[in-house]
Structure 1
Amino acid sequence: MVLSVSTNTYAALQAARSTGIIIPRYFIWLTGINKLTSVKETIGIWTGQTAMTVPVIRPDTGAVVNRVYHGIGDRIKIPSIPMEMSLKVRKVSIPVSSLNSAMINAARAYNIPDGDLLSRWT
């Protein structure tokens, strides 16, 4: 879903972000293969400090589902994502600190093959 805002609203949001009034938060939904069971499983991470449940609209059905996202704080760096219209797959590498317990557990439990990583901004 794409939302549009007026030019004045957009300018106000940009100014608020540059002054620190608004702090961007990123939510990432990952799908990987469990190393023990070979079953696809998911984990949610976000740039906050604690775990939280967030209602999300599924892009394939439009239904609202609740997803749990584990807080990893500032241990994640989101690179610029190119904004372009095309049908090609764009891969983005997201470096994450290995010191976070949620990421340690994900690395131990899941095999995330190249090309099978599904990350969605919510």
Structure 2
Amino acid sequence: MRYVSAANQHALEQRMLVARDFLWLVARDRKTGAPVTEGLWSDVGNITAAIVNPDNGLAETRIWYGAGSLIAIDDIPLVANLSVQNVTIRMSQVHEEVERIVRDYDCRQARVEVYRGLFNPETRLMVAPAECRFVGFVDKIELKTPSENEDGAVTMTCASHTQEFTRSNTETRSHASQILRDPNDTFYKDAATVEDWEVWWGSEKGKVPTQKKRKKFLGIF
């Protein structure tokens, strides 16, 4: 079940809300590799707005750049399972903040957070901290340079954080890998050579041949 704060619920019942989207990116500095954060929102002007941090559930204030920088975000499926969801985000190519993000920073596998904030059109204030609707990573980024009389845009295809469950473990069953966890753990010390060991068995020297598994007859033998 989707959680809605009491303030948002009351405003929804009054039918006096205007929704705005917020996009938070955690990219990397190309020179140092240090994380760099940038916030964009789908309205005019730069604002300071509160959101609910998806990692700890606490409200915090961030700076968001506007002026048409964020064009559109595809509908986000609200599902209660571990399937990987893909979301397409389109941003203005000519906006200086977008240019700085995609060209100065490394956005490959950058963390992406999408929030939805509800504003009171009379006071022009957000009713409650924006709730997180999507957490994931930039899977693909496309910079379209337009020809004359054409529109250009920056398109990001993002995959939800549940894609981490599909990654295979890079660890191997080897002594070198095992001692990284514990220098005294020698469980896999002979794993690479044990299959080539030769064992004396009676009067024969060499590898011990393995016996083929006998077929069962009527499940008895």
TM category (shorter chain) comes to: 0.7 to 0.9
Q: Is the CA contact (8 Å cut-off) linking 2:41 and 2:69 kept in structure 1? A: no
Q: Does 1:96 align with 2:91?
A: yes
**Partner residue of 1:87 out of 82, 85, 91:** 82
**Computing the radius of gyration over CA atoms, which structure comes out larger, 1 or 2?**
2
SS at match of 2:97: helix
Structure 1, gaps ≥5 residues long: 17-21
Structure 2, gaps ≥5 residues long: 116-129, 131-221
The alignment's TM-score, normalised by the length of structure 1, stands at 0.74
The aligned runs of 1:1-122 (5 Å cut-off) are 2-3=3-4, 5=9, 9=13, 13=15, 22-73=17-68, 75-114=70-109, 116-121=110-115, 122=130
Q: Is the CA contact (8 Å cut-off) linking 2:69 and 2:98 kept in structure 1? A: no
User: Partners of 1:25 and 1:61 in 2: how far apart?
Assistant: 23
Report how many residues are paired.
111
Give the aligned partner of residue 181 of structure 2.
Answer: none
User: Partners of 1:66 and 1:78 in 2: how far apart?
Assistant: 22
Identity %: 24
User: Partners of 2:76 and 2:19 in 1: how far apart?
Assistant: 14
Q: Is the CA contact (8 Å cut-off) linking 1:46 and 1:69 kept in structure 2? A: yes
The alignment's TM-score, normalised by the length of structure 2, stands at 0.44
Using the TM superposition, give the Cα deviation of residue 42 of structure 1 relative to its aligned residue in structure 2, in angstroms: 1.1
Sort the Cα spacing of 1:74 and 1:60 in 2 relative to 1 into closer, same or farther, 3 A.
closer
Q: Is the CA contact (8 Å cut-off) linking 2:69 and 2:91 kept in structure 1? A: no
SS at match of 2:39: strand
Using the TM superposition, give the Cα deviation of residue 27 of structure 1 relative to its aligned residue in structure 2, in angstroms: 0.7
Displacement over 3 Å in runs of 4+: none
Q: Which has the higher strand share?
A: 2
How far does the alpha carbon of each residue in 1:70-98 deviate from its partner, in whole angstroms, 9 at most, with x for none? 11427511211122211233221111120
Determine which structure has greater relative contact order: mean sequence separation of CA pairs < 8 Å that are 6+ residues apart, divided by chain length: 1
Note the aligned Cα RMSD (angstroms). Answer: 2.5
